[in-house]
Amino acid sequence: MQRTKFQILASVIAVMAVVNAAQAVTVISAVSSTNGEPEGVHRTGDTFNHVNGNVSPNPHTVPTFGEDVFAFTDRDHQYNGNTVAGLPAYLVGGDYVMTENDARDNDTFTLDVTLAHAARLYVIRDARDAANLPSWFTDGLGLDLLDTGDVVGYDEGGGGGGTVGPGVGINQTGRVYIATDTTTGSSILTPGTFKLFESSTNGQNMYGVVAVAVFVPEPATATLGLLAFGGMMLRRRRMA
């Protein structure tokens, strides 16, 4: 049975998506903080000596985001799915930043995140203070942060408590916010450096950052896909 033109188009688009998604890229290429803590901040791919003895292996290499990854450079807290359903799927596999939990009450704290690839940027912030967001979340300057309605769990004894996996040993939750570029109005951020500011979560958990690559077909790739589609349509018409 011959395929319809819609099925063929879907196949072409699917192949292009697979080719793009298969490209392994560095999303966060650099991260730095000011007015933070001595432990500093680290991104996916960094290797550093963690100050908490419960973190293993140590020296610690920051992985991509997923279940049981360490959240902070000065605690053994881990991120997990809040329930056994697991973490929000769109976050898993993204690059992320381990921040300093003790910087949570530093009013002059800033975090510079450099993206090497088009991406969506997410901030995970302690849900206990969701009613008191810092002004920069919504001031219309640089980035605005919108609540996705999703949450991530904090296992605050993850490194030493032996609790593994989603929905296990969860002590607190963090709400997930997505960043929007106030200049373009888009949640797809172009490569460049973006500045985040204070957490204002005194006595609670410092925010974390996850960046997930967005693959947009290059013009040449898109053209090849359209040519392939056109060729198949012409062949189908001749065979009809």
The predicted model scores a pTM of 0.82
As a whole number, mean pLDDT of residues 10-26 equals: 53
The percent of residues in the chain predicted with pLDDT above 70, rounded, is 79
Nearest-10 Cα torsion for 134, 110, 70, 102 = -80
Q: What amino acid is encoded at 18 in this protein? A: V
**Two structure tokens written together for 29:** 């290429």
Cβ atoms within 10 Å of 207's Cβ, excluding its own: 27
In this prediction, residue 127 carries a pLDDT of: 97
**pLDDT tens string 19-28:** 444 347 999 9
Residues ≥6 apart with Cβ < 8 Å to 136 = 142, 143, 196, 197, 198
pLDDT above 60 (res 74): yes
* Domain boundary assignment for the chain: 1-23+218-240, 26-214
Give the pLDDT confidence of 142-158 residue by residue, as tens digits.
Answer: 999 999 999 999 999 87
C-alpha to C-alpha distance for 235 and 79, rounded to whole angstroms: 52
